[in-house]
Structure 1
Amino acid sequence: MIKVDCQYKIKEDIEFILESEKINMSELSDRTKISRTTLNEIKKARKTTKEVYEKFYAYIYENRYRINSVKEELIKEKYQKVLFHGSKKGLSEISVLGARDNCDFGKGFYLGETYNQAVAFVCENRDSSIYSFNYVSGGLKIKEFDCSLEWMIAICYYRGTLGAYKDNDKVKRIVGEIENSDIVIAPIADNKMFYIMAQFTDGEINADVALHSLSASKLGMQYIFKTEKALEKLVPIEKYYLCDLEREDFRRLLNERSYEIDTKLKLAKREFKTGLYIEELFV
């Protein structure tokens, strides 16, 4: 278990806005509806309330400052390797036991390559926030997947939909490699994509239809830190506030994406009719 001591960098962000907008504290107070007293307290590095965070970061977002996304670009230039984690209620510590058993690859601490990936998984939660981490992977055992049959089988196993096939030797081999790794790197599969996988395990579509539908839905890669040894390689960088406006924009994008996935599945069913079904793969 690793402690995470990250706070919103609102003091630095206020200074950035003052400089960028060429305004003073009184003008910022008028525009954000945050009192001068509260702004001065923040400048003294004192904590403030969620209401204040919301007012300030909503003002930034309304004025087209995509500060979180730009920070992502800058820290990727500064650090060699950066990952992001979306938390529904905030982090004080991280653990390999933090995830549910039925996550894509079982227990572990899950991160994504980009800020947007992390937001997509927590934008429905009003108390959510995003964290960035620097890491080094030297000396760790890493299992990597691409968008393949093995990847799909692994996720279906951990999400509990393989049924009678979960004790198959092929499945045991894949799971054994995962459980003997410090880090698993694999394509992200959200709930919409898992809906396609479930159709495969239910025998409704063949493997080719499933994989072509999934490969067209590129969400990027996820990193699952499965051991304490791996967690020790993570160094927290920053915590990012998600205002209501930003979360609402992401929800709209996710809705649009769900329509695209439905269309891809329908087209794949027309194009790939000769692939193997699940009962034909485990013979």
Structure 2
Amino acid sequence: MRLYHGSNIAIDNINLAMCRPYKDFGQGFYLTDIEEQAEKMAIRVAKIYGQSPILNVYEIDDNFKDLNNLRIKNFGIWTTEEWAKFVMNNRSRAFMDVQDVLCNKDNKYDIVIGPVADDNMALLFRQYENEIIDFETLLKGMIYKKTSSQYSFHTEKSVKLLRKVMSRNV
């Protein structure tokens, strides 16, 4: 399986310490199986931080989800209530219950797979957190919405499964 990471640099060695916290699935290295999505991210990152947009391409064995030594949280391709709570908990600087199964701030999951919380989702989350809307309204705004895809790698054990194929300009 091919996975793609959009950036403004070629990434030959993944350094988890360089990854930002408070992301959808926690601090980790994020990829997608959708090449166009990664290309758009590369363009966005290059505009924000400078340099040129780069697409980093990796491969991972198709059966990686079957490995017994990995803890994988797979939300599938649809937004759900469980997914929404997981993303909100990981994004929140105030959420401290890291033992919660709907949180990955402690990297309890080696790999997390699921939809991306796009700008519309982020707006819904902010409205909920600011008590402008209730949880039911949040759910109505997002349930069954098919979004883009992300695979996040949170531990050295999981990163070692990725094999760099190439980097190319977008």
Q: TM-score range by the shorter chain?
A: 0.7 to 0.9
Q: Which has the larger radius of gyration?
A: 1
Aligned-partner residue type, residue 54 of structure 2:
S
Aligned partner of 1:117: which letter?
Answer: Q
Corresponding residue for 2:89? 157
After superposition, the C-alpha distances for 1:224-267 in whole angstroms (9 at most, x for unaligned) are 1111111111111222321xxxxxxxxxxxxxxxxxxxxxxxxx
Structure-1 separation of matches of 2:40 and 2:134? 28
Partner of 1:98: 18
Relative distance call for 1:132 and 1:121 in structure 2 (3 A) is: same
Q: Residues 143 and 177 of structure 1 are in contact (CA less than 8 Å); yes or no, is this contact kept in structure 2?
A: no
Kindly report the root-mean-square deviation, in angstroms, between the aligned alpha carbons of the 2 structures: 2.5
Percent of aligned pairs with the same amino acid? 26
Do structure 1's residue 231 and structure 2's residue 131 form an aligned pair?
Answer: no
Q: Which of residues 47, 53, 67 in structure 2 aligns to 1:128? A: 53
Task: Specify which structure has the higher proportion of strand.
Answer: 2
The change in CA–CA distance for 1:192 and 1:119 in structure 2 (over 3 A counts) is farther
SS of 1:180 mapped into structure 2: coil
Give the Cα–Cα distance (whole angstroms) in 2 for the partners of residues 107 and 83 of structure 1. Answer: 18
Higher relative contact order (CA 8 A, sep 6+): 2
Superposition TM-score, scaled by structure 1 size = 0.50
Structure 1 gaps of 5+ residues are 1-80, 243-283
Higher mean displacement: 226-235 or 85-94: 85-94
Distance verdict in 2 for CA 1:150–1:121, change over 3 Å: same
- Tell me: CA distance 1:176–1:193, structure 2 relative to 1, closer, same or farther (3 Å): closer
For the residue of structure 2 that corresponds to 1:198, the secondary structure is helix
Q: Is the 8 A contact 1:178 1:184 kept in 2?
A: no
Alignment of 1:175 onto 2:100: no
Q: TM-score, normalised by structure 2?
A: 0.79
In 2 relative to 1, CA 208–120 (structure 1 residues): closer, same or farther, beyond 3 Å?
A: farther
How many residue pairs are counted as aligned between the two chains? 158
Comparing both structures, which one devotes a greater share of its residues to helix?
1
Q: CA deviation at 1:217?
A: 5.0
Deviation at 1:157, TM superposition (A): 1.9
- Determine the C-alpha separation between the residues in 2 that align with 1:208 and 1:88: 39
- Given residue 156 of structure 1, which amino acid in structure 2 is its aligned partner? M
Question: What 5-or-longer segments of structure 2 have no aligned partner?
Answer: none
Counting only pairs closer than 5 Å after superposition, residues 165-244 of structure 1 correspond to structure 2 as: 166-167=95-96, 172-175=100-103, 179-215=107-143, 218-242=146-170
Matched, 1:148 2:76: no
Q: Distance in 2 between matches of 1:229 and 1:120?
A: 28
Q: How does 1:65-104 map to 2 (within 5 A)?
A: 81-104=1-24
CA distance in 2, matches of 1:155, 1:111: 16
CA contact (8 A) 2:80 2:142 kept: no
CA distance in 1, matches of 2:126, 2:96: 18
Per-residue CA deviations over 1:10-32 (Å, capped at 9, x if unaligned) read: xxxxxxxxxxxxxxxxxxxxxxx
Label 1:176 to 1:100 Cα distance change in 2 as closer, same or farther (>3 A).
closer
